[in-house]
Amino acid sequence: MINPEVTIEKLNQFSKGSMAEHLDIEITELGSDYIVAKMPVNHKTKQPLGLLHGGASVALAETLGSVAAFSCIDTSKQQAVGLEINANHIRSVTEGFVYGRAEPLHIGRATQVWEIKIKNEQGKLVCVSRITVAVLDKK
């Protein structure tokens, strides 16, 4: 599944200069079939009412799903690009951190499907998302 040569440090470095860096998303855990990241709930990720912005949750989910897909392919020959993402927002968050965990539902030759569950610091479900990623041969 996830390439054993992939490390947390490489994944965080890969996100430099991107939305993930702007939102302070940090990969914190990496297993053979999952990836975990955290994101602060702060002025960058809240909407005007002081709640975690749904778009920030989707950005965390898309970051995790994309990074996970990237970690499962031969990047010298292939690239992974998002096709579709959806999200259900379950609970609001006003402070602290949220933690997303991406796990594969399908790893195929041409597509991957990842489920991302985002939880608050108390372990309560905040958002559940699913992303479909296309795996394309580089030209």
66 SS3 class? helix
Encode pLDDT of 31-90 as tens digits. 999 999 999 999 999 999 999 999 999 999 999 999 999 999 999 999 999 999 999 999
CA–CA gap between residue 66 and residue 59 (Å, rounded): 10
Is the distance from CB of 40 to CB of 51 less than 8 angstroms?
A: no
CA–CA gap between residue 131 and residue 139 (Å, rounded): 24
Is the distance from CB of 93 to CB of 49 less than 8 angstroms?
A: no
Is 62 part of the annotated catalytic residue set? yes
Is the distance from CB of 93 to CB of 41 less than 8 angstroms?
A: yes
Is the distance from CB of 104 to CB of 131 less than 8 angstroms?
A: no
Encode pLDDT of 78-132 as tens digits. 999 999 999 999 999 999 999 999 999 999 999 999 999 999 999 999 999 999 9
Encode pLDDT of 17-36 as tens digits. 999 999 999 999 999 999 99
Supply the pLDDT for residue 116: 99
Max alpha carbon distance in the chain (Å)?
A: 46
Tokens 């951190």 appear where?
A: 97
User: Which residue of the set 29, 62, 84, 95 is catalytic?
Assistant: 62
Supply the pLDDT for residue 82: 95
Supply the pLDDT for residue 8: 97
CATH superfamily to which 8-137 belongs? Hotdog Thioesterase (3.10.129.10)
